Amino acid sequence: MPESDSNEFYVGYHPTAPLGVARRTRSFVIAALLCTVGLALVLAKGFGPLPRATFEFGSLRTFEGTISTTPYPALHVPRPGVIDGAPWTSRYHIVAPFKFGADAAVAEFDGKHVRLKGTLVHRDGRTMIELVPESLEEIPGLALSPEGPQSLGEHSLIGEIVDSKCFLGVMNPGNLKPHRACAVRCISGGIPPVLCVRDTDGRAEYFLLVGENGEPMNKAVLDYVALPLEITGEVERLGDQLILRASAESFRIL
């Protein structure tokens, strides 16, 4: 076995290390710390960019509007200065704290004018409200009658199913395989699933996923979350949102 040229011998419990050993170890430690700096910089650089997606954690706002409960809970708020042909309400999906949908919290308020408090989650012009359930109250005022769906025909779309809450900003990144388990948990808990479709420039469009009869399809999509998918179904415009009506049988893993 190789041996140190010198007669020095390191014993850890001795008060000091032999001079030569201490000198060599010092050089090694300096080199190791320099490697640590280099690796920290390389690995920090290695991760990809993160989109601008915001969860206004700790900032509660008050909203007024009309509740709808299908296919997923939403708050409809009149848009100021509506241009002809544009949707006249904004539709904010409502979810409960943590990894749960707000179905139970809003069930008795369907079609009613309400005031509620919540935290905004937003990305790419899409906005969601994380509801403070106990703040929800019916208030006097005229309930809105939101627009009905407008069919845009049958399409096959390629994208990734994500949970709308994390993807819009509660987590960043809120998609791809490392986030898959969380997305499954959120969708299983009632968070609306959306199909995120990107164009060739990487711009995302979001399609709220519902069953063929417009029903929520949280449980049906769980096996497909975060996988590269092609889904064929009828695309509809509902206010300012796009909806994809499809059967899970049409899901094709790519």
Partner 1 sequence: MSHAYRAVGWNRQKKVYDRILTLGVILFLGLFMGVGALLRPNATAETLMIRGFGAAAFLLLHVILSIGPLCRLDPRFLPLLYNRRHMGVTMFILAALHGLLSLIQFHGFGDVHPLVSLFTASDSYGSLAWFPFQPLGFGALVILFLMAATSHDFWLANLGAPVWKALHMSVYFAYALLIGHVSLGVLQAETSPWLALPVALGLAWVLGLHLVAAGTEARLDRDVEGVEFEGLVDVCAVHDIKDKRARIVCLDGERVAIFRYDGKISAVSNACQHQNGPLGEGRVIDGCITCPWHGYQYEPHNGSSPPPFTEKVPTFDVRIRQGRVLVNPDANAPGTEVSPALIDFADKGAPDA
DSSP secondary structure letter of residue 142: P
Type of residue numbered 162: V
CA 48 – CA 168 distance, rounded (Å): 18
Identity of the residue, 16 or 213, whose beta carbon is nearer to partner 1 in the bound complex: 16
Identity of the residue, 10 or 151, whose beta carbon is nearer to partner 1 in the bound complex: 10
Range 222-241, binding partner 1 (CB under 8 A): 223, 227
Considering only 46-54, 104-112, 147-155, 207-215, which stretch makes contact with partner 1 by CB under 8 A? 46-54
Identity of the residue, 172 or 232, whose beta carbon is nearer to partner 1 in the bound complex: 172
Site string for partner 1, 78-107 (x = CB under 8 A): -------------------xxxx-------
Tokens coding 25: 């170890």
Site string for partner 1, 180-219 (x = CB under 8 A): xxx-xxx-xx------------------------------
For residue 25, how far is the Cα from the chain centroid?
48
H helix and E strand count, the chain: 5, 13
Q: List b or e across 29-39, with b for residues whose CB sees 16 or more CB atoms inside 10 angstroms.
A: eeeeeeeeeee
CA 170 – CA 118 distance, rounded (Å): 14
Binding interface with partner 1 (CB under 8 A) = 1-4, 9-17, 21, 24-25, 28-29, 32-33, 36-37, 39-53, 97-100, 171-173, 176-182, 184-186, 188-189, 223, 227
